[in-house]
Amino acid sequence: MFSKALFKQSCKANGTMWAIITFMECFMLACVMLISGNGNISTTLTAVGDSMVKEQIDSTIESRELNYYETQLDGMEKFDETFAVKLSEGITKLDFADPNLQKTIVEIFTNAYTDSVTSLQQYILEKAQKLDPSYTEESVEFLELFGCVTYAINPPDTDAIDLTGDTMPDLSAIKGMFDDFYTSHGEEIPAAYLNQNELISAYFTGFDKYFASPERAKFRKERAEACSAIFLAGNLTLKENMDKILAELEKFDISSERFESYGYDYAHVKDVAESTLVTYLSRLDLEIEKAKLDPEAEDYAAKVAEIKTAIAGDISMNFMSSLPEDVASALEELAQLNLYDLVVGSIFFRLAGLLLPIIYMIMVSNNLIAGQVDSGSMAYILSSSTKRQSVVFTQAAFLVLSLLLMFVCTTITSCVCMAIVGEAVAKITYKTMILFNVGAFLVLFTLSGLCFFTSCWFDRSKYSMAIGGGLSIFSLVAAMLGLFGSKMIPSIVRLSALNYFNYATIITLFDTISIAGGTLTYIWKFAILLVLGLIGYVVGSVKFIKKDLPL
């Protein structure tokens, strides 16, 4: 079945062309891989992705800062209202002749504080459930809001609530926890939320008037301005929260080292939060003044709330959210684009890298059978007692083995280039690169089966090359046009109408998306390519063996 002499003859006749095309193929592949791994396009795409991620993080910080500020402000007001009532109720029941007066006073303040915190907890839970009815006291979202407010009204020290010099062990541990939070981040512990001297004065003027006074309202506002940014920065930079952020950034392929380079440490987050709040308050004052609202009007609070919502939305809106949905999605897709996968897998191995092997395959498949029949040399071969079965099997083996060896060379070249570039830069594995080479070989195997079939079918080279070669070139051109309409191309530059060309070429069965994505879809497509190639070789061989030759 196999003729060594004929095989050597084929090698001698086509060896030079094979060597030149293989060298050019490997050289182009090396250039593409090395340039793509170190080019400016990759850097640009990385910069686009970094900008989008930073925009999103900044937007989250801004949104949370405004939410924390308003929640603290509202929560402190609610706490003061409740605390004034509870404290008044307790003080009015005092018996100054009581021998345990000191202990009773401590209990009154302690109970007023804890009752107010309990009431505040329920109030914050109701607010949270308005946003999402599924929230409970164990929900992270609720605990975050409640912690934000209790951080601002942290338990006072003994000087702040103890009129008799006694101690309050029940609250000191909690206070120590909050104080440690300040000091661990290099912050000064703020003044006590409840001041002893002011509370003594309020005893004579009325606790309700004191807590409802403009001076107290100004204190709460300044307290929220100072505490909201500190709480946000401290909470966001906790390890568990940083881990959640990194998990969310996995879709952008952001590593922990790359995220650290953004500089979102405690100081930076606090600076962004403070800047956001300054902008918010300035615009709020300006908009309220421009609206000329009457503080005495019934709808004053509602109109102020509308202004706050509009300003908060405007400040925290990032660049991506300001774009039309389709444009924003396209830019996000572009930022996640794997350049190496696109250039090396989809453009080179699936398109540009097939051109020279296809030219080689068309010329060689024609020379092996139809060319020799057309020139008359086939008559000499068959006259040397070499059977047709041996001729067609040997020529088919030469064509397949020469293509296989060509892609063995490209596989070695691509693996060497991968070692130079590195998997971290390429963002694809050696397994993926090898599968790209296998897929390209199977495409050539299928097309060579077609060309070998036409070479065996026709006795004239012009017909063999016109049909087999024409269909092969058409498949490549259709794949090139179809690429610009496929999902491999970012939607921002994709021409969906061109996707129809993908249905007109067998190169579509070379599924680089499946290979790069780690799915197994490519396996059955590879199987189809293999079967089609075998059919071309078998049917062509049978036709050559049985047909009448013009000898």
- DSSP code per residue over 469-509: IHHHHHHHHHHHHHHTTSTTS-TTT--GGGGGGGGG-GGGG
The answer to whether residues 355 and 466 touch, using CB atoms and an 8 Å cutoff, is no
Range in 126-135, 177-186, 267-276, 472-481 with the lowest mean pLDDT: 177-186
Owner of token pair 């060298």: 23
3-state secondary structure of 318: coil
Report the pLDDT value the prediction gives residue 447, as an integer from 0 to 100.
95
Tokens read off for 73: 């402000």
pLDDT greater than 60 at residue 457: yes
pLDDT greater than 90 at residue 472: yes
Read off the pLDDT of residues 487-500 as tens digits, 9 standing for 90 and up: 776 665 667 788 88
Confidence tier at 101 by pLDDT (50, 70, 90): low
pLDDT greater than 70 at residue 179: no
pLDDT greater than 90 at residue 439: yes
3-state secondary structure of 134: coil
Between helices 140-152 and 214-236, what is the axis angle to 10°? 130
**In 3D, which of 194, 209, 264, 197 has the Cα closest to residue 81?**
209
Report the pLDDT value the prediction gives residue 168, as an integer from 0 to 100.
37
The helix (H) or strand (E) run that includes residue 154 is: none
Read off the pLDDT of residues 286-318 as tens digits, 9 standing for 90 and up: 887 887 777 777 777 788 888 888 887 777 665
The answer to whether residues 334 and 45 touch, using CB atoms and an 8 Å cutoff, is yes
Tokens read off for 395: 């020529």
Rounded mean pLDDT, 123-149:
82
**How far does Cα 78 stand from its chain's mean position?**
41
For the beta carbon of residue 219, count every other beta carbon within 10 angstroms: 17
Tokens read off for 257: 């080292």
Confidence tier at 524 by pLDDT (50, 70, 90): very high
Report the pLDDT value the prediction gives residue 160, as an integer from 0 to 100.
41
Owner of token pair 């500190």: 230
Report the pLDDT value the prediction gives residue 328, as an integer from 0 to 100.
44
Report the pLDDT value the prediction gives residue 288, as an integer from 0 to 100.
79
Report the pLDDT value the prediction gives residue 435, as an integer from 0 to 100.
92
Helix residue ranges per DSSP H, 238-387: 239-248, 256-260, 266-291, 300-316, 325-335, 339-340, 353-368, 370-375, 377-383
**How far does Cα 389 stand from its chain's mean position?**
57
Read off the pLDDT of residues 526-548 as tens digits, 9 standing for 90 and up: 999 999 999 999 999 999 888 87
Read off the pLDDT of residues 344-379 as tens digits, 9 standing for 90 and up: 777 888 888 899 999 999 999 999 988 888 888 887
Rounded mean pLDDT, 400-426:
86
Confidence tier at 442 by pLDDT (50, 70, 90): very high
Helices and strands of the chain, counted as H and E runs = 25, 0
